Amino acid sequence: MSKTRAIVITGNGTNCEMEAAHACRLGGFDEAVIAHIADILSGEIRLDDFHFLNLTGGFLDGDDLGSAKAQANRLKYAGISGSSERLVEQFTRFIRDGKLILGVCNGFQLITKMGMLPGFDGNYLNQTATLTYNDCGRFQDRWCYLKCDPASPSVFTRGIGRGIYLPVRHGEGKFLCDSEATLARIERDHLAVLKYSDADYTSGTMEFPANPNGSVNAIAGICDPTGRIMGLMPHPEAFVHYTQHPRWTREELPEDGDGLALYRNAAQYVKNHL
């Protein structure tokens, strides 16, 4: 097959693009391109030329309208320079072609507010959930245990086991739905891929600080029904090597960090299916 290509979008306040690109390469992608959003809007770079889209953490537009809301509007309504095509058409075509999207932290907020998650019935432009201010009322920078749902359709978490350990750093990470029906469907269809949990990964928790933001049902990350689009507040790109672990000098750890599995799964999926 042709080279496996990942793209990481940067600009307007993102700040994790280098780590995300490194994680993609370490996970097995032949190429990981960091592209400024302006290069995509100008038509110089097209999403069609890639297999895996990364939307990373940061503070898009200073979170002035709420986390990632301004960028969500930009991506839904902005046109491509010199073309009649809107950028959102590239996004929806990317999804329709069976490709992968991962939104981390600000990226999760972005695709949720665009409507791509939970993406019921193939409707990726209807917002039914959001991420809002942490219950504690302040920014949280800590490591969290995350219980994984083995029945989830997520491409990214296949074979992970009971759970993973990742850092969070956000002020607006509380996941909420527009209705009980939306939340019930997320749970019924096993779309709540990751939940904040205790250290034994036995169950989701609403207790602070294990649940750092008060997310409903302890939800830390969700996917769409196809499993090819996933968003999560914790940062997998920030733990791809044992030296990134907060206790790496005091514990015997495997070389690979827990977050690397998500990128390896993405690379393997692309090699097998695209």
Statement: residue 1 has pLDDT above 60 = no
**Amino acid 135: pLDDT:** 98
Chain segment 75-86, per-residue pLDDT in tens: 888 899 988 899
Dihedral (CA of 232, 57, 66, 114) sign: negative
Count CB-CB contacts under 10 A for residue 6: 28
The per-residue b/e assignment along 153-166, b for 16 or more CB within 10 angstroms, e otherwise, is bbbbbbebeebbbb
| Residue 187: active-site member | no
Domains of the chain, by residue range, sit at 5-273
Chain segment 259-273, per-residue pLDDT in tens: 999 999 999 999 999
Query: Active-site residue among 16, 24, 172, 235?
Result: 235
**Amino acid 2: pLDDT:** 84
**Amino acid 62: pLDDT:** 87
Query: Active-site residue among 16, 24, 105, 223?
Result: 105
Statement: residue 220 has pLDDT above 80 = yes
Query: Active-site residue among 148, 223, 237, 245?
Result: 237
DSSP H or E segment with residue 23: helix 17-27
Task: Please compute the mean of the pLDDT values over residues 98-110 and round it to a whole number.
Answer: 97
| Residue 177: active-site member | no
- Cα three-residue angle 198-56-273, rounded to 5 degrees: 90
| Residue 105: active-site member | yes
Q: Between 3.40.50.880, 1.10.800.10, 3.40.50.970, 3.30.1490.100, what CATH number should domain 5-273 receive?
A: 3.40.50.880
Task: Please compute the mean of the pLDDT values over residues 51-62 and round it to a whole number.
Answer: 94
**Amino acid 66: pLDDT:** 82
221: amino acid identity, one letter: G
Residue 50, token pair as written in the block: 């890639």
